[in-house]
Amino acid sequence: MPSRKRHTGSKGRGGRSVAVPASVWLWGSHATLAALSNPARSISRLLLADEAQGRHGRELGGPQGRRLEPEMVSPGQIASLLPSGSVHQGIAALVKPLDNPDLAEAAEPARGEQAVVLLLDQVTDPRNVGAILRSAAAFGVRAVVATAAHSPPESGALAKAASGALERVPFVRVPNLSRALDLLAELGYWRVGLDSAAPETLDGAKHSGAVALVLGAEGGGMRRLTSEHCDFRARLATHPVPGATGSLNVSVAASVALYELTRTSSIDR
């Protein structure tokens, strides 16, 4: 999958530039090395503990001949710069957040392509969003879309959970999810809202063509207006055990739904 590109921010129908912090610490092997390999990523500092130098020495060159000389520090010095409890594996980088991609550019499918875009309706936990990005990378999702006002900012926790996928999958923040769904409809996407109360299952409601799959926040699910901008709703074919919770974590639900969408190329609708 190609590296995520930098853009000036989406405008008009697809989104707008989103206020972001000037710099962010990324940590952990997968997140940091993926950032180093992304030519779109601006990196100002690279911290490396002795224990990690042997493991990652060959991977620190970065793209296009870029080489950032690491600062050799102790594990404790790295930990002092990060949130408490961060598992940094002896490597961290201070980076500028990636620019907000343009939704139309990121999502436009090729003719006949079975493209998938994920939309998150006020999913705010950075670990969930990171895990969703990781699944999106594994299943070849074109973009993950969230609202600017109700989604977590780019952070080390999100990048750690994404395990490198933040550098590879466009993460688009838009001012209005309903308008983003309208734009995706113009691009030829079927808009499917994942809803545990829907009458039909996702595997029984498949169709040919591109799919924009909407996942709601844990607890509240999709908002009414978001649901009204979907072509139909579908649920996962789960079989809850009596006395146990009947719903999946949103990141788990995203993985299962992506598997359902990709395991069969098309079913007539």
Residues 123 and 249 in one domain: yes
- Please name the residue that has the structure tokens 């980088």: 93
Residues 88-127: tens digit of each pLDDT: 999 999 999 999 999 999 999 877 778 999 999 999 999 9
pLDDT number for residue 206: 58
Residues 223 and 189 in one domain: yes
Does residue 182 lie within any of the structural domains?
yes
Residues 254 and 136 in one domain: yes
Q: Give the three-class secondary structure for 94.
A: strand
Could you give the CA distance from residue 137 to residue 118 in angstroms, rounded to a whole number?
A: 11
> CA gyration radius for the chain?
19
Helix (H) or strand (E) holding 258: helix 250-263
Does residue 202 lie within any of the structural domains?
yes
Total-model pTM? 0.85
Answer yes or no: is pLDDT of 254 > 60. Answer: yes
Answer yes or no: is pLDDT of 143 > 70. Answer: yes
Helix (H) or strand (E) holding 121: strand 116-121
Could you give the CA distance from residue 252 to residue 142 in angstroms, rounded to a whole number?
A: 19
Picking from 104, 54, 93, 87, the residue whose alpha carbon sits closest to that of residue 71 is 93
Domain that holds residue 229: 103-263
Answer yes or no: is pLDDT of 147 > 70. Answer: yes
Helix (H) or strand (E) holding 263: helix 250-263
Torsion angle, CA of 228/126/252/206, rounded to 10 degrees? 30
Answer yes or no: is pLDDT of 212 > 60. Answer: yes
Q: Which of 37, 72, 95 is the C-terminal boundary of a domain? A: 95
CATH number, domain containing residue 139: 3.40.1280.10
Residues 125 and 76 in one domain: no
Does residue 14 lie within any of the structural domains?
no
Residues 28 and 90 in one domain: yes
Answer yes or no: is pLDDT of 255 > 70. Answer: yes
Does residue 10 lie within any of the structural domains?
no
Residues 118 and 198 in one domain: yes
Q: Which of 95, 116, 151 is the C-terminal boundary of a domain? A: 95
pLDDT number for residue 58: 58
Could you give the CA distance from residue 193 to residue 224 in angstroms, rounded to a whole number?
A: 11
Does residue 18 lie within any of the structural domains?
no
Residues 177 and 152 in one domain: yes
Picking from 65, 67, 27, 18, the residue whose alpha carbon sits closest to that of residue 47 is 27
Residues 89 and 134 in one domain: no
Could you give the CA distance from residue 192 to residue 232 in angstroms, rounded to a whole number?
A: 5
Name residue 18's amino acid. Answer: V
pLDDT number for residue 201: 80
Torsion angle, CA of 194/197/202/204, rounded to 10 degrees? -160
Does residue 188 lie within any of the structural domains?
yes
Could you give the CA distance from residue 158 to residue 147 in angstroms, rounded to a whole number?
A: 16
User: Would you report the helix, strand and coil content of the chain in percent, each value rounded to 5?
Assistant: 30, 20, 50
Answer yes or no: is pLDDT of 9 > 80. Answer: no
Could you give the CA distance from residue 34 to residue 24 in angstroms, rounded to a whole number?
A: 15
Structure tokens that stand for 127 in this block: 């670990």
Q: Tell me which of 62-66, 80-84, 148-152 is least confident.
A: 62-66
Which residue blocks in 42-200 are alpha helix, DSSP H?
A: 50-56, 75-80, 103-107, 126-138, 156-162, 177-186
Does residue 7 lie within any of the structural domains?
no
Between 234 and 126, the higher pLDDT residue: 126
Q: How confident is the model over 156-170, as a mean pLDDT?
A: 97
Residues 47 and 160 in one domain: no
CB 110, CB 38: distance < 8 Å: no
Does residue 144 lie within any of the structural domains?
yes
Residues 136 and 118 in one domain: yes
Residues 177 and 245 in one domain: yes
Residues 43-53: tens digit of each pLDDT: 999 999 987 76
Between 20 and 145, the higher pLDDT residue: 145
Residues 90 and 108 in one domain: no
Between 42 and 205, the higher pLDDT residue: 42
Q: Which of 79, 95, 111 is the C-terminal boundary of a domain? A: 95
If you average pLDDT over every residue of the chain, what do you get?
A: 83
CB 152, CB 129: distance < 8 Å: yes
CATH number, domain containing residue 29: 3.30.1330.30
Answer yes or no: is pLDDT of 78 > 80. Answer: yes
- Please name the residue that has the structure tokens 């006949």: 112
Answer yes or no: is pLDDT of 1 > 50. Answer: no
Answer yes or no: is pLDDT of 6 > 80. Answer: no
pLDDT number for residue 240: 62
| Count of the separate structural domains present in the chain | 2
